[in-house]
Amino acid sequence: MGRALGILGCCLALALALPPLPAAPRGSAPGPDTDPACKNRPLDLVFIVDSSRSVRPEEFEKVKIFLSEMIDTLDVGESTTRVAVMNYASSVQVEFPLRTYFDKASMKEAVSRIEPLSAGTMTGLAIQTAMDEVFTEEMGTRPAASNIPKVAIVVTDGRPQDQVQDVAASARTAGIEIYAVGVDRADMQSLRVMASEPLDEHVFYVETYGVIEKLTSRFRETFCAVDTCAPGRHECDQICVSNNGSYVCDCYEGYTLNPDKKTCSALDVCAPGRHDCAQVCLSNDGSYSCGCYEGYTLNPDKKTCSTADVCAPGRHDCEQVCVRDGLLYSCDCHQGYTLSPDGKTCSRAITSSLVTTEESCKCEAIVALQDSVTSRLEALSTKLEEVSEKLRAYQARQQIV
């Protein structure tokens, strides 16, 4: 016990020796470390503030200053960050829900009018009330489809007098991110069971309400939008896509994301089912073009094919006449020309009056035959004449008789 008191005494002495944080003059321009122009990612943010009997009136005023300075750091608006404030002790008071104010001046004016409730510390009840009465679309929470984070910041200086662990777990399951801020006598174990993971980013502790304002810069760094896709901030091989303060990787057209979710590999764009070519798919550096089989031509849609006119100008190499035969063709020549051995070109046909030996022989045979026939016909004619003479002589004798 004596050792513990000694350590406590040393801590108190150290705390007393620390210079107080200077308060920013009202109306003064913010310095570079408190620049309110920070464009934080849009949030539905609810402050849940302990105002039990252990929080003295002057300490609660410090809490209100902390809330006002936090509002100053936020990009407040209907389409950006919406803010609600809840005040609790043995009971819970919703000071203003998310749908009420969309400008900083109105919010800060409402904060300045908050009065402490005193009595007990029902932190679990406060979180449950936030789920039931504040984090609802009727009270200004945006639909889940909008993908706006729901965030609760609980500020307390004591040990909860109700069961906070199960309620906080239900809130986290419902998608509410919980930050737990402990002051002075706050129970660290209770802070840890209500906060979201990782705990070192969601649990904060300050010695007194007098220095709670120093947490403003910590939350500003947490909530301010960071370009997660800036060079050096991501590990994407090709495309980085910002996503609510984080990022996901994607790939150029013709590439696919590898299982490591960072690097990309070229797609076989001509694999079955990956293209819409009717006949031939030609891969080309992550993309593709379509072609056709021989004898077909690509249609204007650059996908389908039609039978080609193989004898159309420019599609054949015949010198004179192209003769189509299905998907094939052959060459021919105009009258008076003959096809060359190459099967493509034509040469003028050569005619001559000279009679070849063979043709001469044929003619002689014909002439000889003709002479023979003529001779025989003449002999036959002579015999017929003789027969006729004999017949006439016979007929004459008959008449005499």
Residues with Cβ within 8 Å of residue 41, at least 6 apart in sequence = 149, 223, 225, 244, 245
**β-strand 176-183 against 150-156: which pairing, if any?**
parallel
pLDDT at position 199 is 93
Q: In whole angstroms, give the CA distance from residue 227 to residue 254.
A: 27
Q: What is the pLDDT of residues 213-239, one digit of tens each?
A: 889 888 887 887 666 787 887 899 999
Dihedral-angle region of residue 297 (phi above 0 means left; psi in -120 to 50 means alpha; beta otherwise): beta
Q: Report pLDDT for 357.
A: 58
The C-alpha torsion from 87 through 88 and 92 to 97, rounded to 10°, is: 20
Residue 373 clears pLDDT 90, i.e. is over it: no
Q: Both tokens of residue 230?
A: 């800036």
Share of the chain above pLDDT 90, in %: 50
Per-residue pLDDT tens digits for 172-209:
999 999 999 999 888 999 999 999 999 998 999 999 98
Of the pLDDT bands very low, low, confident and very high (cuts 50, 70, 90), residue 383 is confident
358 pLDDT more than 80: no
Has this prediction a pTM greater than 0.95?
A: no
Q: What pLDDT is stored for residue 245 in this prediction?
A: 61
Confidence label for 264 from pLDDT (cuts 50, 70 and 90):
very high
Is 353 or 289 the better-scoring residue by pLDDT? 289
Buried b (16+ CB within 10 A) or exposed e, 174-202: eebbbbbbbbbebbeebbebbbbeeeeeb
Cβ neighbors of 74 (< 8 A, separation 6 or more) are 38, 40, 43, 45, 81, 83, 104, 223
The amino acid that residue 335 corresponds to is Q
Question: 19 pLDDT band (50/70/90 cuts)?
Answer: very low
More confident: 303 or 400: 303
**How distant is the alpha carbon of residue 289 from its chain centre?**
22
Give the residue with greater pLDDT, 345 vs 328: 345
pLDDT-based confidence at residue 284 (cuts at 50, 70, 90): confident
pLDDT in tens, 58-84: 999 999 999 999 999 899 999 999 999
Q: Is 111 left (phi over 0), alpha (psi -120 to 50) or beta?
A: alpha
Closest to 278 measured CA to CA, from 253, 256, 310, 300: 300
In this prediction, residue 393 has a pLDDT band, given cuts at 50, 70 and 90, of confident
**50: three-class secondary structure by DSSP:** strand
Query: pLDDT tens across 286-339, in order?
Result: 678 999 998 788 999 999 998 877 888 887 899 999 998 877 889 999 998 998
Convert the pLDDT of each residue in 124-173 to its tens digit.
999 999 999 999 999 999 999 998 999 999 999 989 999 999 999 999 99
